[in-house]
Amino acid sequence: MEDPTSNPFEFGRELALADLVDREEELAELQRAGRECRKHFLIGPRRFGKSSLLAALEETAGKERGGPIVLRYNAERFSGPDRLARRLVADAAARLPGSVERIAGAIKRLFRSLRPELSYSPDTRSWSASIGVAAAQDALPALADALDGVERMAKDLDRPVAIVLDEFQHLVAGGAQAESQIRAAVQQHRHVAYIFAGSDTRLLTAMVGEAGRPFYRLGSRRFLGPIPRAAFAGFLGRGLAAVADVTDDGIAAILDLAEDVPYNVQLLAHACWEAAREASAAVTRAFVERVNRATAERQNPVYAQLWSSLTMAQQRTLLAIIYQGDEGLASTKVARAYGLPVTTIQRAREALMAKQVVREEASGSRLRLRLEDPLLGAWVRLFIPGPA
Ligand SMILES: Nc1ncnc2c1ncn2[C@@H]1O[C@H](COP(=O)(O)OP(=O)(O)OP(=O)(O)O)[C@@H](O)[C@H]1O
Ligand SMILES: [Mg+2]
């Protein structure tokens, strides 16, 4: 057995294309949408790998001859639509060919209605832009104008541009008006692809799935599910085999305890790799369970704080979800066992979803409740007294 020094399991950052397990189909879909200037929605729970897929799209587009120019943003990081508009203008400048003067001229023409002022820093070879937005109510129209400008640019260059908006729900948080203003711009465009990604599954699902909403049937949709177990198991087995003996049941335990959430799978695999190397132990189910408990323990400050931020009703409802599953959550038997009226449980369940502690997952014809972070379940089982 070799003794590699670097842990092959990574969590918490966008992965590079070469590090992605599976997801070929999802990536091909994004690439097609980019080439064909379509609109595509990528919707999935937190930490399932949305941003990594978007990064992979950007990576492959850069290598593909005639592939789209990818402009990728996380909407969460902009304090308003006008800020995003400004960035679009600056990034458009960075992608145009020619001399600084020529680019500045082209930007003024393409984004005329925004009256952009550009500056170029030769040191960092980067552009920055300011635009004339006076009032808050002009921020969304400014974004729509910037998108129109990108459409003109793509047409001029005769090359598709893909605008990728991660955590897209933040942009339309302004309500129905924001949705319809963005749609009005986007639906006209034929030379720009739009990839909208987001993790507020319920909100986004309603946005694209309800007739009458501006984004209804605007483009194709993909709900990002878990990574197929066979592919993930193969990846885990290869990584762990370099430092320890590995059993199939040990690998299955990693996927079980992490509830197939890709981030949690990598987190637990990372910890197992370290522990197995340290102790020269075999990766069995019992070993994985021990490592998972130790990992939950290390996160004690974080989970303790989360727990104490919940109301008593929310805490008890969470206990019921962890110990009972959500099957009987609406039953009077569970309500009695946890000392809460059924209606209180219902309200607490909604609050736990709003706080992103739990999420709904389609399971056959019904919706099942899952913990957003399965490790929280392990922490609760360790530190909080269970139901009698
Ligand atoms: N295809 C994949 N193969 C292996 N691991 C993955 C994959 N996708 C995601 N992961 C794991 O999940 C982590 C989170 O991925 P990423 O940030 O792309 O997810 P996300 O859905 O954008 O999360 P968030 O909702 O927090 O924005 C990665 O750092 C990695 O550990
Ligand atoms: Mg993300």
Q: What is the 3-state secondary structure (H, E, C) of 98-157?
A: CCHHHHHHHHHHHCHHHCCEEEEECCCCEEEEECCCCCHHHHHHHHHHHHHHHHHHHHHH
**Amino acid at position 126, single letter:** S
Residue range 356-369: average pLDDT?
88
pLDDT at 31 over 90: yes
Tokens, residue 302 = 């974080």
With cut-offs at 50, 70 and 90, classify the pLDDT of residue 3: low
Report how far residue 331's alpha carbon sits from residue 334's, in angstroms, rounded to the nearest whole number. Answer: 6
Cα(76) to centroid of ligand 2, in Å?
Answer: 10
Residue range 121-134: average pLDDT?
88
Question: To the nearest whole number, what is the mean pLDDT of the chain?
Answer: 93
Ligand 1, pocket-test mutation among 11, 47, 74, 264, most atoms within 8 A of CB: 47
Note the pLDDT of residue 4. Answer: 64
Report how far residue 60's alpha carbon sits from residue 72's, in angstroms, rounded to the nearest whole number. Answer: 13
Residue range 257-266: average pLDDT?
98
Ligand 1, pocket-test mutation among 10, 48, 52, 359, most atoms within 8 A of CB: 52
Residue range 185-196: average pLDDT?
95
**Pocket lining: 18 vs ligand 1, CB cutoff 6 Å:** no
Residue range 249-278: average pLDDT?
97
Residue range 178-195: average pLDDT?
92
Residue of 158 and 133 predicted with greater confidence: 158
Residue range 58-62: average pLDDT?
93
Q: What percent of the chain has pLDDT over 70?
A: 99
Strand partners for 129:
118
Which atom of ligand 1 is the closest one to the Cα of 199?
25
pLDDT at 356 over 80: yes
pLDDT at 133 over 80: no
With cut-offs at 50, 70 and 90, classify the pLDDT of residue 174: confident
**Pocket lining: 263 vs ligand 1, CB cutoff 6 Å:** yes
Measured from the Cβ of residue 129, the count of other Cβ atoms closer than 10 Å reads 21
Cα(199) to centroid of ligand 2, in Å?
Answer: 8
**Amino acid at position 4, single letter:** P
Ligand 2 ion: nearby residues, β-carbon < 5 Å: 51
Specify the DSSP element, H or E, that contains 161. strand 161-166
**Pocket lining: 9 vs ligand 1, CB cutoff 6 Å:** no
Residue of 32 and 174 predicted with greater confidence: 32
Q: Whose CA is nearest to atom 19 of ligand 1?
A: 49
**Pocket lining: 49 vs ligand 1, CB cutoff 6 Å:** yes
